[in-house]
Chain A
């Protein structure tokens, strides 16, 4: 059974930094591209970032480009999202998701974690 467990969320001041983690199990992590999606309170889903299976290529939404960095450690079956320069509009539940594709962000998300809440506020 696929399991994705996010951690690292919390309350952070504007301008601050935070690193989210997502620990995966139940599938061969190194073969699968991974995605972060976020959902602001009461709002819809927003794609944030994708990383290829080997970690060599990354893609970002314009709203986070230059501030967020996606990475992975295949030896630890763990996905990361390093967030800098956080703003109030980054407040959201952040989900990690298992992508159907390995090397391009054009596929669907077949498993999701339960999400971790990031609140940016002073």
Chain B
């Protein structure tokens, strides 16, 4: 059971918009800690996708965006492309565990 809760899977057709939620609690997201997102393509290492809730590293398309409110955060992907098919993980910090926490991951399928 992960500290941060994500839906196991989402899907969408090419060109569509999907969102992935990440729900935490008062000891992590709700305490004001930033949320970060990673993309893991099949058989590769994770890659930073969004940092500090809303920021994209250089090279990440602006089709990817993040938001945070209260004890939750969301990743939105617009204009879905086949190469977006991957696992997506949210991550924050938990002050009761004194460490990083991850969501369980969401598998995105592009139909």
Contact = CB atoms under 8 A, between A and B. Distances in A.
Interface residues of A, number: 24
A95 B46 contact: yes
A69 to B, nearest CB: 15
Mostly, the B contact residues are strand
Interface of B: 2, 33-34, 36, 38, 40, 45-48, 51-52, 57, 87, 89, 91, 93, 97-105
Contacts of B48: 108-111
Nearest to B48: A110
Interface stretch (A20-28, A55-63, A84-92): A55-63
Interface in A28-42: 35, 37
Contacts of A111: 48
A27 B80 CA distance: 34
A107 B48 CA distance: 12
Contact of A108 (B52, B97, B98, B99): B52
Contact of B102 (A44, A100, A115): A44
B15 to A, nearest CB: 28
Contact of B99 (A44, A105, A113, A114): A105
A47 B45 contact: no
